[in-house]
Amino acid sequence: MDDKVVFYAGGSEGGFFRGTCRLASGPIRFPPEAKRYIIEDPQDKFNYFVNLKEVDLFPSPKPIAALLDDMKFITNKENWWRNLQGGIISIPGEDFYNIVNSK
């Protein structure tokens, strides 16, 4: 592992990149004792978690709207949020660095 990650906060008050970290593990299935705290996904897409390291939150959130034109992984600029659905997604390194280095 050791992949770089950027945090995105969506929802009604979201639309911001919030910080970065590195993955400290691959996907780990939630243990049986956690089942009382989470709803199991029958398609088995969201029954996992990852450990993080080197978590670094940005001093202020970075709005995605200001970065859309430069994001290669955002294929539909009008409905950009669709490209951010699904938990952990892969983005090009260039997009990661554009986010991190933006003001």
Q: In sequence order, what are the beta bridge partners of 8?
A: 17
Which of helix, strand or coil describes residue 57? strand
Q: Which of 16, 102, 7, 100 is nearest to 55 (CA)?
A: 7
* pTM for this prediction: 0.79
- Buried-state track 79-93, b at ≥16 Cβ within 10 A, e below 16: ebeeebeeeeeebee
DSSP 19-41: EEEEE-SS-EEPPGGGTTTSPPP
DSSP E strands in the chain: the ranges are: 4-9, 16-23, 28-29, 48-49, 52-63
Domain residue ranges of the chain, discontinuous segments joined by +? 4-101
Torsion from C-alpha of 61, 65, 69, 71, nearest 10 degrees: 50
Residue 102 is predicted with a pLDDT of: 93
The answer to whether domain 4-101 has CATH 3.10.590.10 is yes
Residue 42 backbone class (left: φ over 0; alpha: ψ -120 to 50; beta: rest): alpha
pLDDT by 10-residue block (mean), the chain, 103 residues? 88 86 92 80 79 96 92 91 83 94 90
Specify the pLDDT at position 21: 96
